[in-house]
């Protein structure tokens, strides 16, 4: 008989929530900083180096991916059909590429985790549409978050939107609780049924980060042990925010400067 896995979700105190706000803002600031440098001709390794130096020297923080379970770089760079965990290297970005930059910063022991899509040059209509649907789906999921709501509502909202556009959701990788620990409970699935799963409580923090494929949902892990790609080599897109559950709803901790300034 299989035993159900015990889920222990940490509830952050007001002081811990404030520390999460700081870490989340720093992670967003890294993406703001690197945005004008994500252009044709730059290598993913150069983007990693610039982000690493900024996190360490300017923010006095720690790039969480570096040496995490053996990951060799400070950010993840996932290009075109790479779903997640792409390792920065010598690859040059070309016009028409799409790339996800995933940044996690540790400040004073707490993690802030966020990612964005970047479209290089004159991308195809399909690429732009895919990125837009992934972005909208993330926000539809986030808007389901509130104390007393259930985690399945988040995944259901994402899945319904993605599939209504003829795309598919990756199921092998999901969002996660976050705080003092990079990946903690709960697992945040990007598919599911309404009114099922964990009941959300104020003070929970987790990521919402749907991976949306233009083709089928199936993926495979490459020999490097990290890089995940679509099996059918179709394009894939992902956006990610770290979210705090509040009594009234949610607070997104990783908004970029433009979104923080918006009414």
pLDDT number for residue 263: 58
Using CA atoms, how far residue 62 sits from 59, 85, 110, 111, 128, in Å, is 8, 18, 10, 9, 32
Collapse the DSSP code of 241 into the 3-class scheme (helix H, G, I; strand E, B; otherwise coil) and give the result. Answer: strand
pLDDT number for residue 1: 39
Q: How many CB atoms lie within 10 A of CB 46?
A: 15
**pLDDT above 60 for 26:** yes
Model's pTM, two decimal places?
Answer: 0.95
**pLDDT above 50 for 4:** no
Domain extent listing, the chain: 14-258
Residue 185: Cβ-neighbour burial (10 angstroms; 0-12, 13-18, 19+): middle
In tens, the pLDDT along 160-199 reads 999 999 999 999 999 999 999 999 999 999 999 999 999 9
Residue 156: Cβ-neighbour burial (10 angstroms; 0-12, 13-18, 19+): buried
In tens, the pLDDT along 28-62 reads 999 999 999 999 999 999 999 999 999 999 999 99
Query: Do residues 200 and 246 make contact, with C-beta atoms less than 8 angstroms apart?
Result: no
Q: Which residue shows structure tokens 């994402």?
A: 158
Confidence of residue 261 (pLDDT cuts 50, 70, 90): confident
In angstroms, the CA 83 to CA 129 distance is 16
pLDDT number for residue 223: 97
Domain 14-258 annotated CATH 1.10.3720.10: no
In tens, the pLDDT along 216-246 reads 999 999 999 999 999 999 999 999 999 999 9
Q: What sign for the dihedral angle of Cα 157, 163, 165, 171?
A: positive
Residue 227: Cβ-neighbour burial (10 angstroms; 0-12, 13-18, 19+): middle
């Amino acid at each position: 008989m299989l035993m159900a896995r015990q889920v222990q979700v940490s509830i952050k105190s007001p002081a811990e929530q404030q520390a999460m706000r700081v870490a989340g803002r720093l992670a967003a600031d890294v993406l703001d900083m690197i945005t004008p440098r994500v252009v044709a001709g730059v290598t993913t390794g150069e983007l990693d180096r610039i982000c690493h130096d900024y996190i360490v020297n300017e923010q006095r923080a720690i790039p969480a991916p570096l040496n995490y379970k053996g990951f060799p770089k400070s950010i993840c760079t996932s290009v075109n059909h790479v779903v997640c965990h792409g390792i920065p290297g010598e690859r040059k970005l070309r016009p028409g590429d799409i790339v996800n930059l995933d940044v996690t910063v540790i400040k004073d022991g707490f993690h802030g985790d966020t990612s964005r899509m970047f479209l290089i040059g004159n991308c195809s209509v399909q690429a732009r549409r895919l990125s837009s649907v992934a972005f909208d789906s993330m926000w539809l999921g986030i808007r389901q978050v509130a104390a007393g709501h259930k985690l399945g509502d988040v995944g259901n909202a994402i899945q319904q939107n993605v599939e209504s556009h003829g795309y598919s959701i990756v199921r092998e990788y999901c969002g996660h609780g976050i705080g003092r620990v990079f990946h903690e409970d709960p697992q945040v699935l990007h598919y599911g049924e309404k009114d099922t799963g964990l009941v959300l409580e104020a003070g929970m923090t987790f990521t919402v980060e749907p991976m949306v494929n233009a083709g089928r949902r199936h993926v495979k892990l490459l020999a490097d042990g990290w890089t995940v790609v679509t099996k059918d080599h179709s394009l894939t897109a992902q956006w990610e925010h770290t979210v705090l559950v509040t009594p009234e709803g949610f607070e997104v901790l990783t908004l970029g400067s433009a979104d923080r300034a918006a009414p």
